[in-house]
Amino acid sequence: MMHPLTDISGRQVDRLIGALDSLIEGDLAVEKLIASGPSAIPALSDFLLKGSPKSIALHRCRAVHALGELGACSTLISYFRESERPQDATVLFAEDAVRSVAARELMRWKSDEVFHVLLGAAKQRATEGLIMALGEFHRPESIPLLFEVLEDDLCRSCAMENLRKVPNGARQYAFLAIRGLTNVNLNGASAVCRRRAVLQLLSELGIPSGDWPELRPFLSESDPAIVIAAAQVGFSVAPESEWRQIAAALLKVADALNSVQQEDVTQLLDAHRSIAQEIAFEITTYRKHLGQKPNWLSPSWRILNHVLDRALERDHSHPKR
């Protein structure tokens, strides 16, 4: 732990704050400001709250870190409550980094006030740091927001991680959203990323077998990730009479699979080999009837070949007597 510097003057603090944007001296300036103790808080607070955001956020992020280390909770709360959103897109993006750092620093104080400040800030404009900080509270009030930001490429991973921490609440809210009983949209092309994430979440959390009929329609989606997640759930809880439909849905989207998804589909079909081989034989026979020749650049042909090769391996391993 650093020992507070003695007799540091306001001029010295100002000089250190002025060095926060230096690539060479900036980190050392932060250390000295923290070491100077509470006497640096007023100047740092003015710098953060009264200074104008810039297109480069490094100096403001350093000031926020120093304020967190110095215990200036009220200043960080004021930052979220009082700051106005920059109009310039470049400055706005840079200030998102400051907001993320401020959210992480506020995690030193896990109070109701801090939670509601973070939740309000994330509703206005979510950032990865805000979503990450909210997740540390494990509170159900944040679940609707976490589902909302599943459409955000920058926040999705953190939102998913946080929803896994509240599995019961996340599962219940997911089905409410599927039923159209929330403000979170799951319909249409504009919500495909959110729909994909919700199905993936349910495949991880698991569902009661009685809820499967509500997920069955997702087998008809054109997005492979959604179909795979629905199939993973279906093979776990759907009656065996529906397994053929599930396997057929996987093969229907086979040509749109990436390499990772192809491996996932192959594993699912291998786990339900008998049904997969039936369907693969039917599809291959139909394609040959149409005069199609195997195309090994096509994921669907590779999967069909894999499934049928497994059938031949089985037959050879059990020769007729």
In sign, the C-alpha dihedral spanning 302, 306, 307, 308 is positive
Identify the pLDDT of residue 1: 40
Residue 10 lies in a domain: yes
Identify the pLDDT of residue 252: 93
Under-70 pLDDT residues of the chain: 1-9, 310-321
Residue 55 lies in a domain: yes
Residue 132 lies in a domain: no
The token pair at 132 is 């990450």
How many C-beta neighbours within 10 Å does residue 65 have?
Answer: 18
End-to-end alpha carbon distance in the chain: 79
**Of 204, 205, 202, nearest in space to 218 by CA:** 202
How many domains are there within the chain?
Answer: 1
**Of 161, 141, 62, 143, nearest in space to 105 by CA:** 62
Residue 26 lies in a domain: yes
Identify the pLDDT of residue 144: 96
Identify the pLDDT of residue 26: 86
Mean pLDDT, all residues of the chain: 91
**152-170 per-position pLDDT tens digit:** 999 999 999 999 999 999 9
Residue 176 lies in a domain: no
Residue 61 lies in a domain: yes
Domain range for residue 20?
Answer: 1-126
Residue 62 lies in a domain: yes
DSSP 13-40: HHHHHHTTT-TTTHHHHHHHHHHTGGGG
Identify the pLDDT of residue 311: 55
CB 174 within 8 A of CB 168: no
Residue 106 lies in a domain: yes
